[in-house]
Amino acid sequence: MIEVLKAGLYDTIQDLGRMSYQEFGVPISGVMDRYSATLANSILGNSSHAAVLESVIVGPHLKFNQETAICISGADMNVTLNNLELKTNAVYQVEAGDVLKFGTCSYGCRSYVAVLGGFQTEIQMGSRSMYKGVTAIYKLNKGDILPILKTDNFTGNSFSSVKIDKSHFQVQEFEVLKGPEFEKLDEIEKQKLFNTTFSISKDSNRMAYQFDEILDNSLQDIITSLVLPGTVQLTPSGKLIVLMRDCQITGGYPRVLQLTEKSINKLVQQFIGCKIAFKCLK
Amino acid sequence: MNFELTYRRFSERSILVEWPQEISEIILKDVLFYKNSLLSKHSESIVQVNNAYNSILVIYNHTIDNVNDEILTLKAHYIDRKVVKKEVTKLFKIPVCYDEEYGLDLVAISEEKKMSISEIIKRHSQSIYTVYFIGFLPGFLYLGGLDEQLHFPRKKSPRLQIKKGTVAIGGEQTGIYPNASPGGWNIIGNSPIDLFLPKKKEPCFAKSGDKIKFVAVSRLEYDDIALKVKQGLYTIESEVIDD
């Protein structure tokens, strides 16, 4: 098991989420950046469904009470193991008593820790993804104990890290499809969606990303309809909202754009204050 | 009767099908009929179908290469839609205590509408409501059928915390908060039942298409039911309805 010595800003256990329960109003949840989380699992030889620890901007301090192996992907938060600096996207063996500490973030904003076999926290509705009202705890706190699998035949450190495409963390243009209500916008409103540089607002979290800029909006609200992570809504006050992994399953604001899966994985590595723009896919 | 539906790509792995833009039980029935027909086809590529008032979202397990082909398949299926197994529709009786201790906004609604509190309670508990779908929060039922005389605008500034089980009116809608949450609806009572139990196989007792009736209970009955719910001994009264 692993003990949380110090919690980060918002640490959660996540897997690829909870499908098949949306009919009960349950969000899909799951890792915000599927690309990075899947990378951590695959470097370690885990299934892509293994649960990982997601941190944002400030990560936790963890103490291992048994041996395992780990891989860290996503944002580079200058993580140390017993005060020795670790590379991202590399496999490290961990012994009982070792302490893993997250440092300051040098690029990206969401980091993933995978352990051999995945974290073994509670399963609710087929998923370990933490969500308020569904799992007993919805984020990690100091003193929490995270069960992991016993391992006995680990072959050792890999001494090399997998090279990744850093553009995943540097992109500023995000590919989108047109949303169901896009064609109801007038020409100027349509152009503004693609000509405006948007700044990620402080009200951005696992449920949605919001932006500071205000657009003209002539659209009426719609009869409450279906949404997905990546749906971009335009509110009556002219604000854009990008729904994220913990979003509700329905919404009443016009859906003007839809981020591609790749774009969602990249946008969640951009933090408050970052400037972004949307680019329409044909 | 066949409706004029619109089909469009929603995301890389989903297609949105929309019925005419209105809220009606006839549309809901067709939405659910088509949804269940698609699901009973045991298609390997369709992993999930979500519904709201007048739309379904068909989610595939892979990126859709040729949207037009998939849309043609969906259109053909709509024409041939049929359900092998008929869904059982149920009417659930939900106990609600409308005492002022719980019905925090009853006095305000009564004064504004010049309608007695007992008349508000009578009208709210005599209607039969249709569950259109579940959303907003896990276990939050979107109900249709609120008496027009009880339509009441949402509060200008929402309350930061609304109690679990709160029964409230927001505009043309009424609903029950399955868990404590911020909310801008007007509070008229509280129900002691659980609307969402994550550990159960069916975490919510009702589904799209079911019916709900509220039954007014006294504070004493409320406490009695709340205790039974806590002990796991309470079953929501229900009957199968044929429609």
pLDDT of res. A155:
63
Q: Is the per-residue pLDDT at A67 higher than 90?
A: yes
Q: Is the per-residue pLDDT at A227 higher than 70?
A: yes
User: Which residue of chain A has the CA closest to B178?
Assistant: A133
C-alpha A93/C-alpha A85 separation (Å) is 14
Query: Residue A24 is nearest to which of B14, B51, B204, comparing CB atoms?
Result: B204
C-alpha B60/C-alpha B10 separation (Å) is 11
Residues A142 and A12 in one domain: yes
Residues A250 and A116 in one domain: no
Residues of A within 8 A of B196 (CB-CB) are 24-25, 133
Residues of A within 8 A of B22 (CB-CB) are 223
pLDDT of res. A154:
63
Average pLDDT over residues A47-71: 97
Residues of A within 8 A of B199 (CB-CB) are 124
Look at A157 and A64; give whichever has higher pLDDT.
Answer: A64
Residue B243 pLDDT level (bands cut at 50, 70, 90)? low
Reported ipTM: 0.93
Q: Is B219 among the domain residues?
A: yes
Q: Is B1 among the domain residues?
A: no
Q: Is B197 among the domain residues?
A: yes
Residues A184 and A49 in one domain: no
> In terms of C-beta density within 10 A (0-12 exposed, 13-18 middle, 19 or more buried), how is residue B48 classed?
middle
* Min Cα separation A39/chain B (Å): 19
CB B226 within 8 A of CB B102: no
- CATH number of the domain to which B172 belongs: 2.40.100.10
Q: Is the per-residue pLDDT at A272 higher than 90?
A: yes
Residues B15 and B119 in one domain: no
Residues A269 and A180 in one domain: yes
Residue contact A258–B11, C-beta within 8 A = yes
Q: Is the per-residue pLDDT at B9 higher than 80?
A: yes
Residues A218 and A175 in one domain: yes
Find where tokens 């553009």 sit.
A167
Domain boundary among A142, A165, A188: A165
Average pLDDT over residues A29-56: 97
* Min Cα separation B4/chain A (Å): 16
Predicted confidence (pLDDT) per residue in B25-58, tens digit: 999 999 999 999 999 887 789 999 999 999 999 9
Domain boundary among A150, A165, A180: A165
Predicted confidence (pLDDT) per residue in B89-107, tens digit: 999 999 999 999 999 999 9
Q: Which two tokens stand for residue A176?
A: 């989108």
Q: Is the per-residue pLDDT at B130 higher than 70?
A: yes
Average pLDDT over residues A117-145: 96
Q: What 3 state SS string does chain B have?
A: CCCCCEEEEEECCEEEEECCCCCCHHHHHHHHHHHHHHHHCCCCCEEEEEECCCEEEEEECCCCCCHHHHHHHHHHHHHCCCCCCCCCEEEEEEEEECCCCCCCCHHHHHHHHCCCHHHHHHHHHHCCEEEEEECCCCCCEEEECCCHHHCECCCCCCEEEECCCEEEEEECEEEECCCCEEECCEEEEECCCCCCCCCCCCCCCCCCCCEEEEEECCHHHHHHHHHHHHHCCCCCEEEEECC
Containing H/E element for A3? strand A2-6
- CATH number of the domain to which A219 belongs: 2.40.100.10
Q: Tell me how many domains chain B contains.
A: 2
C-alpha B19/C-alpha A141 separation (Å) is 46
Q: Which two tokens stand for residue A261?
A: 């899966």
A133 interfaces chain B, CB cutoff of 8 Å: yes
Residue A130 pLDDT level (bands cut at 50, 70, 90)? very high
Residues B60 and B169 in one domain: no
Q: Which two tokens stand for residue A90?
A: 């590399």
Predicted confidence (pLDDT) per residue in A158-199, tens digit: 667 888 888 899 988 999 999 999 999 999 999 999 999 999
CB B19 within 8 A of CB B124: no
- Which domain covers residue B105, as residue numbers? 89-241
CB B143 within 8 A of CB B169: no
Residue A265 pLDDT level (bands cut at 50, 70, 90)? very high
Residues B118 and B215 in one domain: yes
pLDDT of res. B219:
96
A250 interfaces chain B, CB cutoff of 8 Å: yes
Residue contact A180–B53, C-beta within 8 A = no
Residue contact B135–A225, C-beta within 8 A = no
Name the pairing type of β-strands A68-76 and A107-115: antiparallel
Look at A104 and A282; give whichever has higher pLDDT.
Answer: A104
Which has the closest alpha carbon to B59: A229, A117, A48? A229
Phi, psi of B166 (to 5 degrees): -60, 135
Find where tokens 């067709």 sit.
B30
Residues B155 and B218 in one domain: yes
pLDDT of res. B238:
96
- Which domain covers residue A191, as residue numbers? 171-280
A1 interfaces chain B, CB cutoff of 8 Å: no
pLDDT of res. A220:
81
Average pLDDT over residues A80-84: 96
Residues A130 and A197 in one domain: no
Average pLDDT over residues B226-230: 96
Residues of B within 8 A of A125 (CB-CB) are 198, 203
CB-based contacts of A121, cutoff 8 Å, min separation 6: A13, A51, A128, A130, A135, A146, A147
Q: Is the per-residue pLDDT at B113 higher than 90?
A: yes
SS3 A243: strand
Query: Residue A226 is nearest to which of B47, B52, B196, comparing CB atoms?
Result: B52
